[in-house]
Structure 1
Amino acid sequence: MLEAESTHHHPGTSHEELEHEREYVAGLYARLDELREDKVRQLAEVRRTASAGSHQNRSERDAFATLYEDRLAQLNAVDDRLAFGRLDLDDGEQRYIGRIGLSTDDLRQLMVDWRAPEAGTFYQATAFERQGVRRRRHLILQRREVKAIEDDVLDPSMLTEGEALQGEGALLAALNSKRTGRMSDIVGTIQAEQDRIIRSPLAGALVVQGGPGTGKTAVALHRAAYLLYTHRDRLRSAGVLLVGPSSSFMTYIERVLPSLGETGVVMASVGRLMPGINAIPEQDPRVAELKGRLSMAEVIGRAVANRQRVPAQDRVLDIEGQKLTLSPKQVRRARDKARATGKPHNEARLTFVKILLRELTEQLTEQVESGSLGNTADRSYLAEDVRSSRDVRVALNLAWMPMTPEKLVRELFAKPALLEAAAPGLREAERALLARDPESPWTEADVPLLDEAAELLGDLDASGGRDGAAREADRRRDLANAERALENMHQSLADSGVDGVLSADDLADHNAVQDDYATTAERALLDRSWAFGHVVVDEAQELSAMQWRLLLRRCPLKSFTIVGDIAQTSAAAGASSWQQALAPHFGDRWQLEELTVNYRTPAQIAEAAVRMANAAGQVVSAPKAVRDGRWAPIIDRIGGVQPQTALVKAIPEELAALDGGLLAVIAAPHRLGELSSALRKMYGRRVGHGAGSLEQDIVVLDPRDAKGLEFDGVVIVEPTELLGSGRVGDLYVSMTRPTQRLRLISSTELPEGIEA
């Protein structure tokens, strides 16, 4: 159980000490409010003059407005429990730790940002290695008011006679608090093991392996916030991408980073990593496994190449009554030259078209001149005749059609002949699995294929519209405008009171996107080619090889934080080891760290889940649970009773035991409809799905959507159905979601190992 590594002293703390902390924290909030008012005033001033002046002046004000809005969003997001700790140091200094750093106007430090190096000892100091800390004080706030203080006394000379060793009350209070349907940060209770990982260097790929309840997701989120703080210059413009397994998971964690002082992280589920596509889960695990294979990159590559066709015979073209011949040899030569440019399909098409238009124009010119009896009139109009000819357009499109990724992939799976030509290595039965109606919605397994196609196809505009040179000319023009706008920037900054200077590059970028979206995060989410400075991947064991390929394209520097638990793999295309998942993409250039303490799951429940997995032949990490629960797993054997009937009967007891906590009902996907319907007849709007909400304290979901979430209580209906395909991941995940109670309702024999 939880071991005290320091002396903890709590309610005996004097009333005077508590009042002192209340007064100091009130001062911190007064400073926070003052900073907010400043930004509100500055933002209002900018908006009042937003439509006046030149284009350059408006651009400056737009840039200032964005800066003020971002800072104001940060100040608003940290209001709840602004400060959470104090360090008393050997030199007599008292150092307050909070969600952001605060200073007075004359730069006297009031509170240290939890990510700053000087805050590290709040998490790392122990009674054995004090690191200059005499006492660590936890400030327990409810909204803005200090309700209690708890001291970890690390220097024995500070102890008064009779004080005893106790557990860490702040941590246990957080662990025992009721779930709300949204994840809470752990910034005030980060443990030394977690802190060491959070503060690991930026470069390279860091794998954080941890069993259920070890705080993997919390570590990932706090690491994202830490990296943005510590490497602001590098990551500010490139940004950080955080990828999770499902939309329910993203909703669950969405408030954490703002509460840690960060509002610019791009957060997306695996189904949202292609702009404009909101994919649904792939229902058939066999299809997911096929689409997830790394060899699918070759299939997409062949599908693109097969759209660059050489006709089997000559094609006769009619141009204003003149007959021209387009031969297979001409098309092949133009195709080979276009491919030799190394450009993507749509961009290389421009070269292909130029070559054939020139050759056809020369052919037409020769015909016209041969029948003109020496007439030397201007023939320049002939090039336009060739370019505008319907026959020419049709012939060139048949040989090299401009394509979108969606059209390529949709037709690939809808037309058996195209798939057979692109995927000769697949068996006929496998190709049959991939066949789909062209109107079907996109799935998460399709997203990497669409991304691969987008990479190989390139910009559709370049196939016959604006080329790269034109876009670069636009960029140079924007940059020149920005440089002119910056000539008066220093005076504008002084007038507006802003505390930073934009470069011409920053302002040009800002101007280019101002009409559509303002923040780095918004721009990155809408730009498939955006290169992030760092990527955090949660539940990474679920990713297929093709999904990893997509993510590596998003971060060419290969700077990753990879979080997961191999034992919880349930996706058909997921990994059975980190080596298997990462070697094709990172080689041996990744480092493994392991979290060893289970903070969420009571010992009785955690041990039952591990026994079940071991009995099924799967080796799982078994992190040490820090606390015993009040209840061992409860088992209802229902025989011939309908599962929904047994569930409705059991729910009142669960709700009473949880006393306002969040209850999850987890079952195989095919049962969710009938279970939800039965519960809604009894509890109406209290029943929801996913992570729930403030109005919904009963949620019904399948193991996939439960992944990464936590609940006060869990009821698993027909647990044996979650053991499909020889994997224990779904049942293991489901059994390790609760923080208090676990109940299993089964009409068949339970999987081995659950009962001690």
Structure 2
Amino acid sequence: MDTKTQSAYQEELQRLEQTNTEIDKQLARLRSTPVYYGPDLTEQALEVARENGRHNLTKAIDEPYFGRLDFQENGMAEANPLYIGKSGVEDERNGQLLVIDWRAPVASLFYSFTGGLDAASYDSPDGLIEGLVYLKRNLVVRKQILQRVVDTYDRTEDSLSVGDEFLLYRLGENKDNKLRDIVSTIQAEQDRIIRAAKNTALIIQGVAGSGKTTVALHRLAFLLYQYREQVRAERMIIFAPNSMFLDYISGVLPELGVGNIQQSTFTDWALDVLDHEVTMADQALTLQTWFSLGSKRPPVDDHAPGRFKGSMAFKIYLDDCLTKFEASYVPTADFSPWDGAKLPIASIREWFFVENKHYPLVKRRERVVARIKRWMDMQLDKIWEQSKKKELKKKSSQKLRTYLTSWPEHSAFTFYKVLFSDKGRPDSLPADLLAQIPASIITASLKNFKKKEVQLEDLAPLLYIHTRLYGIPSDRLFDHVVIDEAQDFSPFQVAVLDSYTRNSSFTILGDLSQGIHAYQGISDWKEFASLFSEDATAYFELERSYRSTMEIIQFANTVLQRGVENPLLAVPVFRSGNKVHVLQTDLKGRLPLLQRAIATLKQGSSSTIAVVARTEKHALELHEALTEAGIETNLITSKQRVYRGGISVLPIYLTKGLEFDAVLLMDVTAGHYETTLMDAKLLYVGCTRALHELWLMAPGELSPLVSIEDQEIVTTQAPA
């Protein structure tokens, strides 16, 4: 350690001791103060403040900060050292901030400053603040111990470029079985997304490993800090591709001090809104079929069920149906509960179409029926003879029940079902509308509907009908929505979610190059952008990949280039590693070679290893074979809800969003991965899950998507 580095270390060690002492003192005082449980509102408010203090200081005690920025604001005599951490800490003696919360406006300088002698600036509540940055320093503190001090910018040095040493140090760390926060290494392009205005539909195209998911989670934490008077955590939601992925990301928000944010899959949320009136058809069977077809897979076009039912054209069709249904919803005849009493249909229509027009259909029906009953009671009140009154009351109740049979009660599912069949179809829904739906979709839908089962693509239409019939309760509205792996969502899904979201406040993120569910997803982000007003939409691209080594990214990019026209290629950070291994063998040598590969990776530094098969069926076979060989592995299927780490065996489509120290891609042969758009995207997804080691096994002719130039090739035959 040179003299300059030693001096910086001692300086930071002294500052850390002072900060730790102050945190310990404040925390001890707060913990010794009895918790208030009484009715006094002032004391309740003070207790909330004390509890927040206990929470923030407890979070800060082991790692109070991770960065330092020396900033001289214009008009000030000298630079002020600002320490940035996950929680703000104030010095009680003088009210000065010992640690600044990473979400505070001034902390944005730590992320946005990229070096140079020019002035730096940040937006504050008082306007634009400008000044000069003299020092940017990254710090690693663990359990109150200072472990690392790295200056990434020093104005007094000859070199004025911000280095990547600290970033590379953090990227080189091995992962456990959870996604972690990146608050100490947020990059400038990521910070711009995190701090974007709330009432905006952000659409983020990010290459594999660009930190899309983590950025979205940090954005939630920022919005809760910046707009604390406008948003609540329990009114935010993250939509993830599957339940296991939710478990994988579950540690990030607590690390950032954020709780109570809803996390769900679109399927689970939709079924809950629909009060579980329907169940899902076997999605595992659908996925198994889709990913095993290869080149035999039918082309995806607008007549594919997922594309058709997920389109805005289908929403327009449903609008037409619902509008026609509403127009003829009310009975056409006067209501007469007994001879001599008549409620004109004109009055009923006035109540329905004018007085209650702002209510949804079902609520309108309920209010009008209640109004009819009140009218009947008023008519009965005019009759003084009790025996006659009793007789007419009974008769009128029966008459009303008969009258209401011409006024059908529909749920979302019963209405949706009749759209696909001529039987029981209301006269208000002419048969020519049915002709707009492809015959194959009608047949498949009716088969599922008999068992009250639906496919994923049915959920958005059902939710839309549900909102038209029942409306949206205020407690179901969201303040902000995050959609992860959004390229697999349909425009109709996003449009429905928009109706449940205040001010179109969205963070929509994904990667078109990883769009492996083409039968339901999108091919262009404009399909989502068109759903929102232009002035309330922002589009960002994240091109840098921080996950994998240069060798892995370059290899994966070649896969894309060989199967995808004009692909969105990742730009790796300068983190070099081992070459990609390509293991060529025959079928007999496949399992022994896999066992040796796993043993080699375990002997190295890989703590999380993924053995990736083409389909779920293949993954099951591999899991059984490895278990019989005495290798402990965790099988991951589409129904999995927990990610356990260690050695995982899983189909390639379920790897999306996850990352592992090492990835072993099985059966990368010409028969499994052909030069098709879908196979290229699948293989790209599999390759880009690896942080440090990527090994491919080919028991046969190697896939034409793979380039073996400059790669380490191991050719093994089965033992004699």
TM bucket normalised to smaller: 0.7 to 0.9
Residue matched to 1:491? none
Residue number among 579, 590, 593 corresponding to 2:526 in the alignment? 579
- Report the secondary structure of 2:436's partner residue: coil
* TM norm structure 1: 0.74
Residue matched to 2:394? 385
Whether contact under 8 Å (1:316, 1:323) holds in the other structure is: no
- Residue identity opposite 1:583 in structure 2: S
- Residue identity opposite 2:394 in structure 1: D
Per-residue deviation, residues 135-191 of structure 1 (Å, max 9, x unmatched):
22211122332112111242135x7xxx99995322111111111121111111122
Answer yes or no: is 1:103 the counterpart of 2:52: no
Residue matched to 2:537? 590
Per-residue deviation, residues 445-464 of structure 1 (Å, max 9, x unmatched):
3442342133112169xxxx
Residue 649 of structure 1: how far off its partner (Å): 5.1
Residue 205 of structure 1: how far off its partner (Å): 2.5
Higher helix proportion = 1
Residue matched to 2:654? 705
Answer yes or no: is 1:428 the counterpart of 2:477: no
Whether contact under 8 Å (1:84, 1:139) holds in the other structure is: yes
Answer yes or no: is 1:186 the counterpart of 2:182: yes
Query: CA separation of 1:26/1:430 partners in 2, compared to 1, >3 Å: closer, same or farther?
Result: same
Query: CA separation of 1:686/1:311 partners in 2, compared to 1, >3 Å: closer, same or farther?
Result: same
- Residue identity opposite 2:508 in structure 1: I
- Residue identity opposite 1:344 in structure 2: P
Indicate the RMSD between aligned Cα atoms, in angstroms: 4.4
Answer yes or no: is 1:445 the counterpart of 2:423: no
Residue matched to 1:550? 496
Whether contact under 8 Å (1:180, 1:694) holds in the other structure is: no
Residue 60 of structure 1: how far off its partner (Å): 8.6
Query: Distance between the aligned counterparts of 2:543 and 2:330, measured in 1?
Result: 63
Residue 641 of structure 1: how far off its partner (Å): 4.3
Per-residue deviation, residues 563-587 of structure 1 (Å, max 9, x unmatched):
2222221222211111123213445
Whether contact under 8 Å (2:70, 2:80) holds in the other structure is: yes
- Report the secondary structure of 2:66's partner residue: strand
- Residue identity opposite 2:647 in structure 1: I
Matches within 5 A, 1:522-671: 530-571=476-517, 572-586=519-533, 589-641=536-588, 647-648=594-595, 650-671=597-618
Query: CA separation of 1:307/1:236 partners in 2, compared to 1, >3 Å: closer, same or farther?
Result: closer
Residue matched to 1:521? none
Residue 712 of structure 1: how far off its partner (Å): 1.1
Query: CA separation of 1:255/1:380 partners in 2, compared to 1, >3 Å: closer, same or farther?
Result: farther
Residue matched to 2:100? 112
Residue 110 of structure 1: how far off its partner (Å): 0.6
- Greater displacement, 394-403 / 429-438: 394-403
- Residue identity opposite 1:224 in structure 2: L
Query: CA separation of 1:387/1:84 partners in 2, compared to 1, >3 Å: closer, same or farther?
Result: farther
Q: Note the residue ranges of structure 1 that are not aligned, 5 or more in a row.
A: 1-9, 50-56, 370-374, 461-526
Query: Distance between the aligned counterparts of 2:27 and 2:454, measured in 1?
Result: 43
Query: Distance between the aligned counterparts of 1:330 and 1:674, measured in 2?
Result: 71
Residue matched to 1:6? none
Residue 213 of structure 1: how far off its partner (Å): 1.6
Residue 356 of structure 1: how far off its partner (Å): 5.4
Residue matched to 1:353? 369
Whether contact under 8 Å (2:334, 2:345) holds in the other structure is: no
- Residue identity opposite 2:511 in structure 1: D
Residue number among 11, 15, 22 corresponding to 1:24 in the alignment? 15
Query: Distance between the aligned counterparts of 1:433 and 1:325, measured in 2?
Result: 50
Q: Note the residue ranges of structure 2 that are not aligned, 5 or more in a row.
A: 73-77, 121-131, 291-303, 710-720
- Residue identity opposite 2:685 in structure 1: V
Query: CA separation of 1:93/1:299 partners in 2, compared to 1, >3 Å: closer, same or farther?
Result: same
- Report the secondary structure of 1:135's partner residue: strand
Query: Distance between the aligned counterparts of 2:441 and 2:557, measured in 1?
Result: 35
- Greater displacement, 537-546 / 697-706: 697-706
- Residue identity opposite 1:88 in structure 2: D
- Report the secondary structure of 1:557's partner residue: helix
Residue 738 of structure 1: how far off its partner (Å): 0.8
Residue matched to 1:293? 311
Whether contact under 8 Å (1:310, 1:332) holds in the other structure is: no
Whether contact under 8 Å (1:548, 1:585) holds in the other structure is: no
- Report the secondary structure of 1:594's partner residue: strand
Whether contact under 8 Å (1:104, 1:110) holds in the other structure is: yes
Residue matched to 2:136? 136
Whether contact under 8 Å (1:304, 1:408) holds in the other structure is: no
Query: Distance between the aligned counterparts of 2:405 and 2:631, measured in 1?
Result: 57
Query: Distance between the aligned counterparts of 1:21 and 1:645, measured in 2?
Result: 52
Query: CA separation of 1:182/1:315 partners in 2, compared to 1, >3 Å: closer, same or farther?
Result: same
- Greater displacement, 259-268 / 684-693: 684-693
Residue number among 656, 663, 684 corresponding to 1:714 in the alignment? 663
Whether contact under 8 Å (2:248, 2:642) holds in the other structure is: no
Per-residue deviation, residues 191-237 of structure 1 (Å, max 9, x unmatched):
22222333333342332222112222222222222222222222248
Whether contact under 8 Å (2:60, 2:86) holds in the other structure is: yes
Residue matched to 1:400? 408
Query: CA separation of 1:541/1:402 partners in 2, compared to 1, >3 Å: closer, same or farther?
Result: closer
Whether contact under 8 Å (1:365, 1:382) holds in the other structure is: no
Query: Distance between the aligned counterparts of 2:205 and 2:599, measured in 1?
Result: 37
Residue 647 of structure 1: how far off its partner (Å): 4.0
- Greater displacement, 672-681 / 413-422: 413-422
Answer yes or no: is 1:204 the counterpart of 2:180: no
Residue number among 435, 444, 466 corresponding to 1:454 in the alignment? 466
Query: Distance between the aligned counterparts of 1:441 and 1:65, measured in 2?
Result: 50
Query: Distance between the aligned counterparts of 1:311 and 1:431, measured in 2?
Result: 28
Residue 305 of structure 1: how far off its partner (Å): 6.8
Answer yes or no: is 1:227 the counterpart of 2:243: no
Residue 414 of structure 1: how far off its partner (Å): 10
Query: Distance between the aligned counterparts of 1:64 and 1:386, measured in 2?
Result: 63
Per-residue deviation, residues 285-335 of structure 1 (Å, max 9, x unmatched):
754334322244356553797599879999999x9xx79999xx9889846
Residue 111 of structure 1: how far off its partner (Å): 0.7
Q: Percent identity?
A: 23
Query: Distance between the aligned counterparts of 2:236 and 2:541, measured in 1?
Result: 23
- Residue identity opposite 2:136 in structure 1: R
Per-residue deviation, residues 706-733 of structure 1 (Å, max 9, x unmatched):
2222111112223464679842332222
Answer yes or no: is 1:673 the counterpart of 2:691: no
Whether contact under 8 Å (2:481, 2:505) holds in the other structure is: yes
Residue matched to 1:696? 645
Residue 601 of structure 1: how far off its partner (Å): 1.9
Residue 12 of structure 1: how far off its partner (Å): 5.6
- Residue identity opposite 1:714 in structure 2: V
Instruction: Determine which structure has greater relative contact order: mean sequence separation of CA pairs < 8 Å that are 6+ residues apart, divided by chain length.
Output: 1
- Residue identity opposite 1:24 in structure 2: R
- Residue identity opposite 2:196 in structure 1: S
- Report the secondary structure of 1:156's partner residue: coil
Query: Distance between the aligned counterparts of 2:449 and 2:314, measured in 1?
Result: 19
Query: Distance between the aligned counterparts of 1:216 and 1:693, measured in 2?
Result: 21
Residue 83 of structure 1: how far off its partner (Å): 1.0
